[in-house]
Structure 1
Amino acid sequence: VYRQTNSGCDDLCVICIHEGFVMANEKVFSDPIYGQFSIDATCCLFVDTPEFQRLRDIKQLGGTAFVYQSANHTRFEHSLGVCHLASRWLDILQAAQPDLNITDQERLCVQLAGLCHDLGHGPFSHMFDAHFIKDSLPLGEKWNHENASNDMIDHIVKTHNLAPALQERGLSVPEDIDFIKTLIAGQPRIPGRKEFLYDIVANKRNNIDCDKFDYFQRDTLHLGLKMPFSADRLMHCSRVVTVPYPTSNGNESSGGTNQQSQQVIAFQEKEAYSVYELFQTRYALHKKAYQHRVGQVVDLMHCEALKLADPYLTIPSGDGIGTVRLSESIRDMSAYRFVTDAVFSLIAVHPDPRLAPAKAILDDVKARRLYAFVGETLVQPHHNIGENVSPVAGNKRNASQMTMAQWKPGLPGLDDIKSAVLTLCNDSLATASRSNNEENLTVTCDDIFLETATINYGCKAKNPVDRVHFYSRKAGLDAPFQMHPSQIGICLPSTFEEKWIRLFCRHPENVDMCSRLRKAWEKWCTSCVGKVSVSTPVKFSDGRPPPIPRTAVRKKLKM
C-alpha cells in the first residue's frame, strides 16, 4: 500500500497485522538537524505508546527555557535523534569493518536503547531526579532517571504485550530486554555481548556517545549557540579496536599471554583536537545554559512548588483503585506515565486550597518575581566543599570567624557556610538597628539558600581524553594508542572541573535584606575563599537600579 510521509511524498510500505498493531516497515520523521530519517517498525511499537508519547510534554532543558526563549524542545525529538544516530554509527562501523558481524538483533537492541534511554525523565527533566526526588527519598536511597527508563521498558512490554512482536524480530525475551537496559545504564556489561556496543548510547568509559552527539547539536541549535566540532565526522573517523582491560589504578595492563582485552571504539589520530572540542562543548553548554543562575533558580522554585504540592496532589495508581503521591509515582509506572511538565498546570488550576503556597510560587515564576541572586564564588581546585573538613584542632571559633587557612583540606559544608553568612548579616542588621533605634530584624535559614554548580568535561576533575583511544593509518589500524595532551597542543586546559557556590534570597522585594546579605557574602568569601565573590547589584522590586552613592557622583563629575 501507499502512505504519505512527513515530507509529503507517497512512500511504498509493507503492512502486517500483529496483536492489534499495524506494523509498517518503517516510519519517516522530519528533523531540523538530520532532515528525513526513518525509524524501524519495531521501534515504532514503542514510539506509538502513551508511555513514550509523554516525552512530548517534558522540556529537554527545564528551567533553561526561561533564559533562552527558543529552548522549548522536548525529550521526544531527542530520543528519536539518539535512535537515528545509533543506527547510523552502526552502519558506519559495519561498512568499515565487515568482520564485526553486527547482527540485526544487536542493531535493534542498540536502536531501542537509544530510543528508550530517556523514558524515565520527569517534569523539567533533571530537576525532577536531581532535586525533587533526591530530597524526597529516605536517607541513603538512590534513584535516577535511568532506573525509571528501565522500569518503563518493562512496563511497556508487559502492558502492550510486545513480547511476541519482539520475538518475531528475532529478539529473546527477557534476555535481550535485559541487554537493552544495560546499554541504557552503561553497566554492568553482560559477558558474551560485544563490548563496543556499550560505547554507542551511554558510554561510561569516556562519555563519547550518541546521547551527547544529539543533545549537543539539538541544544546548541535551540539555544542559538555554535557547535565547533562535527559529530558526523567523528563517527566516520572511528573504528573498533582491541585494547587491554584497565587495571585497578586506571592504567592499561601490559604484557602476559593471559592478558584480558576488550573491544572499544577508537578515533583517528587527526581528530584528537575534535575530541577535545567535544568536551569543550559540554563545558560551554553547562557554563552558558545548563548551569545558568536564572535557569537554576527557576528549577529550584519549581522544585519547591512540587514539594509543597506533594502531600495533597495524588495520581491514580496502576491498580485503578488507590492513588499515589507525586514522589511515590516513581515506583508505579502506570502512575508515572502521567507525571510530565503538565503537573505544573494541574497545580495551577487545582481547586484544593492547600495547594495555594505551591500556586503562589508558580505565579511568581510566571510574573518573573524570581528569588534574588545575591552572589557566587568560584571554589579553588584544591578545595572540597564539606568533604572530610574540620577546623584546625583546638580552634573552637565558629564558621563565620574561620579563615581560608583554618579549614583543612577545603571549605566547610553548605550548612556551615549558610550559618556563617547569616551570622555576619545579622550582626550587621543588629548594629544598624542599634544606631537607628529601630526594631532588630534578623535573617533566618528559611530566607536564604545555597546551591552549587559543578561544571566539568564529563569525567569530574579528570581529563576525559585520557580514556580515549586513537589509531592512525601509519601506525596500523589495529594498533591503538592513547595520546598525551602535549602531543595534541599546548593551549589545552590543565583543570577539567570547576565548582561554584551561589547564594539566593527568597525575598527579592526586601532590598535592605538583599544588600546586607551581599555584603556579608562578600566578607565571607574574602576571608574563606580568598577572593571577592562575583555578584550583581541588588535591584528594587520594581526593577529600578539602586541609587548611585554621592561619592561616586562626585568622582564622575570630576572626570
Structure 2
Amino acid sequence: MANQEQRTQLCKVFNDPIHGHVELHPLLVRFIDTPQFQRLRNIKQLGGKYFVYPGASHSRFEHSIGVAFLAGQLVQHLKEKQPELDITERDVLCVQIAGLCHDLGHGPFSHLFDAKFIPKACQRDTWKHETGSLMMFDHLVVENELQSVMEEHGLVWPEDRNFIEALIHKQHGDQKPDGGRTANKPFLYEIVANKRNGIDVDKWDYFARDCHHLGIQNNFDYRRTLKFARVCEVDGQKQICFRDKEEGNLYDMFHTRYRLHQRAYQHKVGNIIETMITDAFLKANEHIQIEGSGGKKFTLSEAIHDRVAYTKLTDNIFEVILNSSEDGRYPPVTFRPKRAEGSGTSPPPPNDEDFSGVKEAREILQKILKRDLYRFLGQVQPGDVLKDITEKTGELKRELAEAAVELNADDFEIDVVNIDYGKKEENPIDYVRFFHKDDPTIAVKSNKEGSKLLPAKFAEQQIRVYCKKKDEDSQNVAKEACKRWSDRNGFSWQ
C-alpha cells in the first residue's frame, strides 16, 4: 500500500487540450524525458497538411502522450469491471508504454516520410514507421539505461520488453515469449493497435486531436464507447466487444475516419504540397550527411537503419534544405574552433562537387512558401476501387506526355487516393462483436446488416492529375487528354 501511495505521489500531470489533466505513471515519465521521445515534439502529426490548415501544428509528442493515457483508461476499465481476466499492474504498464512509444519511428512530416519518400528513395525497401518504432524503442531503453528502471517498477526482462514490442508492431511469425499474453490475454493486443477491426485508442486520440486542431466537428464519443467495452469469448478466443447499443457510435467513429481523410488527410492541395516536399527530399537525399553510430555518415534515406542518425531526423530537415547557401552547397551552417587572437578569416577552399540537387530542392521548397504549387488539372472517381491502378495511371501518363506540347511523363503527377472506413471495401462493423445487457458473456455479430441507412459502399477511389509546368496552353492540352482517357475508361472527369 505504501509503495502504491509513493507511486501516486510521483505521478506527473500533463494539461492536455483534448483529455484534460492527464496523470501518468512515473515510469512513463522516465520514457518521456529522453531525447528519443522528445524528438517527437519536432514531427508534425499531420505533416504537410499544416500548409493548408493553420491550426494543424500539433506534433507526435502530444498524440503519443494521449494514446498512453487512453490505453491506461481502457485497460484499467477492463481490469476493474472484469477481475476474472487477471489483468495485472505489469499488463497495465506495458500497454501504456506501448501506447507512449508506438510512434517513435515516425520520420520528418510523419506519413510523408514512410509512405512517399522512402518508397521512392529505397524502392526495394519495405520499411515502415512501425519498424522504426521498434528500433527507436530499443535505442531509447538501452541509451537511457531504462532496463533496470523498468525492473524496479515490477516489469520482467525480457518478457515484458517483447510484449511491449509486439503491442507496437506484432510481426508475422514472431513467437518471442511475452509472459503468456498471446495465449491467455490476446485482447491486450487490441488496445493500442487493433488489427481485427480498427477500434483502438490510437484512433480515439488522433480523431479527437486532429478534429480539434483542424476545426472539424468530431461526432464520435470515445468516452462512451470505452465505458461499454467488455472482453467476451468469441470462437474460442477472448476479444474486446461492445454493448449492442454502441453500434451507432462505432459507425460514427468509422465515418469520422472517412470524413477526416476526405476533408484533410487527402486534401488535394495538402497532398501535392507533400509530393513537392518529397521531390525536394529526393533531390537533396544524396547530399545530406547525418552523423550516426561510430561517426559514420548517412544520407536522408539511409538514416532509417541507424538509431543514432535517425534520432537527429525531424521536420527540421525542411529548414536545413531551405536555408542552404545560394550555390546549393550543403550544409548551410558549419562550426569551427574559436580563432586565436589576431588570426585571419580566410574563406574555405573552393569545392568543385556538384550540389545542384540541393539547389533544386531548395527552389522547390521556396515555391511551396510562395504558394507556387504544381497545378491541379482535375480528377476522376471510378465507380469501383481499381485493383490494376498502377497500369491505368501508367497509361494516363504516357497519353499526357504524347498530347502535351514540350512536356514529358515526369512533368505530371498522378495521385491515387483511396478513402474507406478502415477495412478497404468491407464494412468494419462486420468484424466487431456486440453483447446484450441480458447476457454480457455472449457476443454476436451486428443484426442491423439490412439497415437502409448504412452506406452502400465503404470505399472510394480518386485519381488526381497535377502538372508541374505553368504553361496554360500545355495544361489545356493535358486536360483534354485526361478527358479522352477518362471517357474511354468510363470515368467522369471532374
Does the pair score TM above 0.5? yes
Q: Which structure 2 residues correspond to residues 216-255 of structure 1 after superposition, within 5 A?
A: 216-244=207-235
- Secondary structure of the residue aligned to 1:92 is helix
Determine which of 513, 532, 551 is the counterpart of 2:474: 513
Paired position in structure 1 for 2:342 = none
- Alignment of 1:297 onto 2:276: no
Choose 1 or 2 for highest CA Rg. 1
- Distance in 2, matches of 1:152 and 1:382, equals 36
Give the C-alpha shift of residue 383 in structure 1.
Answer: 3.5
- Distance in 2, matches of 1:325 and 1:24, equals 45
Q: Which structure 2 residues correspond to residues 111-510 of structure 1 after superposition, within 5 A?
A: 111-139=96-124, 141-188=125-172, 192-193=180-181, 194-244=185-235, 261-319=236-294, 321-351=295-325, 352-353=328-329, 354=355, 355-381=358-384, 383-386=386-389, 412-423=391-402, 425-426=403-404, 441-474=405-438, 476-486=439-449, 489-507=451-469, 509-510=470-471
Determine which of 25, 39, 54 is the counterpart of 1:54: 39
- Residue identity matched to 1:346: V
- Secondary structure of the residue aligned to 1:43 is helix
Runs of 4+ in structure 1 displaced over 4 angstroms? 186-191
Paired position in structure 2 for 1:556 = none
Q: Work out whether residues 186 and 202 of structure 1, in 8 Å CA contact, stay in contact via their aligned partners in 2.
A: no
- Identity, in percent, stands at 39
- Distance in 2, matches of 1:501 and 1:484, equals 35
Paired position in structure 1 for 2:340 = none
- Distance in 1, matches of 2:386 and 2:188, equals 38
Q: Work out whether residues 466 and 483 of structure 1, in 8 Å CA contact, stay in contact via their aligned partners in 2.
A: yes
- Distance in 2, matches of 1:207 and 1:102, equals 22
Give the C-alpha shift of residue 533 in structure 1.
Answer: 1.2
Give the C-alpha shift of residue 172 in structure 1.
Answer: 1.8
- Distance in 2, matches of 1:91 and 1:348, equals 47
User: What is the CA deviation profile of residues 266-317 of structure 1, one whole-angstrom value per residue up to 9, with x for unaligned ones?
Assistant: 0000111111111111000000000011010010100111101111011011
- Secondary structure of the residue aligned to 1:304 is helix
- Distance in 1, matches of 2:44 and 2:435, equals 39
Q: Work out whether residues 421 and 427 of structure 2, in 8 Å CA contact, stay in contact via their aligned partners in 1.
A: yes
- Secondary structure of the residue aligned to 1:310 is helix
Q: Work out whether residues 227 and 281 of structure 1, in 8 Å CA contact, stay in contact via their aligned partners in 2.
A: yes
- Alignment of 1:532 onto 2:484: no
- Secondary structure of the residue aligned to 1:486 is coil
- Secondary structure of the residue aligned to 1:360 is helix
Q: Work out whether residues 186 and 203 of structure 1, in 8 Å CA contact, stay in contact via their aligned partners in 2.
A: no
Q: Work out whether residues 385 and 460 of structure 2, in 8 Å CA contact, stay in contact via their aligned partners in 1.
A: no
Aligned residues: 454
Paired position in structure 2 for 1:404 = none
- Residue identity matched to 1:171: L
Give the C-alpha shift of residue 169 in structure 1.
Answer: 1.2
- Secondary structure of the residue aligned to 2:58 is coil
C-alpha spacing 1:92/1:63, structure 2 compared with 1 (3 Å): same
Give the C-alpha shift of residue 132 in structure 1.
Answer: 0.7
Q: Which has the higher contact order (CA 8 A, sep 6+)?
A: 2
Q: Work out whether residues 24 and 69 of structure 2, in 8 Å CA contact, stay in contact via their aligned partners in 1.
A: yes
- Alignment of 1:100 onto 2:91: no
Give the C-alpha shift of residue 78 in structure 1.
Answer: 0.3
User: What is the CA deviation profile of residues 370-409 of structure 1, one whole-angstrom value per residue up to 9, with x for unaligned ones?
Assistant: 100011111221642347xxxxxxxxxxxxxxxxxxxxxx
Paired position in structure 2 for 1:32 = 17
- Secondary structure of the residue aligned to 2:263 is helix
- Residue identity matched to 2:47: G
C-alpha spacing 1:133/1:78, structure 2 compared with 1 (3 Å): same
Which blocks of at least 5 consecutive residues in structure 1 are unaligned? Answer: 1-12, 16-22, 245-260, 388-411, 427-440, 535-559
User: What is the CA deviation profile of residues 460-483 of structure 1, one whole-angstrom value per residue up to 9, with x for unaligned ones?
Assistant: 111111000000012x11011001
Give the C-alpha shift of residue 442 in structure 1.
Answer: 2.5
TM-score for the superposition, normalised by structure 2 = 0.89
Which blocks of at least 5 consecutive residues in structure 2 are unaligned? Answer: 330-354
Q: Work out whether residues 79 and 115 of structure 1, in 8 Å CA contact, stay in contact via their aligned partners in 2.
A: yes
- Residue identity matched to 1:524: W
- Distance in 2, matches of 1:54 and 1:24, equals 27
Give the C-alpha shift of residue 486 in structure 1.
Answer: 2.9
- Distance in 1, matches of 2:91 and 2:97, equals 10
Q: Work out whether residues 523 and 532 of structure 1, in 8 Å CA contact, stay in contact via their aligned partners in 2.
A: no
Q: Work out whether residues 204 and 222 of structure 2, in 8 Å CA contact, stay in contact via their aligned partners in 1.
A: yes
- Secondary structure of the residue aligned to 1:150 is helix
Give the C-alpha shift of residue 350 in structure 1.
Answer: 2.7
- Distance in 1, matches of 2:171 and 2:234, equals 18
- Secondary structure of the residue aligned to 1:494 is coil
- Residue identity matched to 1:324: F
Q: Work out whether residues 456 and 496 of structure 1, in 8 Å CA contact, stay in contact via their aligned partners in 2.
A: yes
- Distance in 1, matches of 2:267 and 2:193, equals 25
Q: Work out whether residues 186 and 204 of structure 1, in 8 Å CA contact, stay in contact via their aligned partners in 2.
A: no
- Secondary structure of the residue aligned to 1:502 is strand
- Residue identity matched to 1:414: T
Paired position in structure 1 for 2:349 = none
Give the C-alpha shift of residue 531 in structure 1.
Answer: 3.4
- Distance in 2, matches of 1:515 and 1:76, equals 45
- Secondary structure of the residue aligned to 2:453 is coil
- Distance in 2, matches of 1:447 and 1:185, equals 38
Q: Work out whether residues 105 and 129 of structure 2, in 8 Å CA contact, stay in contact via their aligned partners in 1.
A: yes
- Residue identity matched to 1:236: K
Q: Work out whether residues 424 and 458 of structure 2, in 8 Å CA contact, stay in contact via their aligned partners in 1.
A: yes
- Distance in 2, matches of 1:50 and 1:93, equals 33
- Secondary structure of the residue aligned to 1:417 is helix
Q: Work out whether residues 267 and 470 of structure 1, in 8 Å CA contact, stay in contact via their aligned partners in 2.
A: yes
User: What is the CA deviation profile of residues 27-51 of structure 1, one whole-angstrom value per residue up to 9, with x for unaligned ones?
Assistant: 1100111110111111111100111
Q: Work out whether residues 434 and 444 of structure 2, in 8 Å CA contact, stay in contact via their aligned partners in 1.
A: yes
- Distance in 2, matches of 1:135 and 1:39, equals 39
Q: Work out whether residues 116 and 153 of structure 1, in 8 Å CA contact, stay in contact via their aligned partners in 2.
A: yes
Q: Work out whether residues 51 and 337 of structure 1, in 8 Å CA contact, stay in contact via their aligned partners in 2.
A: yes
C-alpha spacing 1:519/1:485, structure 2 compared with 1 (3 Å): farther
- Distance in 1, matches of 2:80 and 2:274, equals 44
Give the C-alpha shift of residue 138 in structure 1.
Answer: 4.2
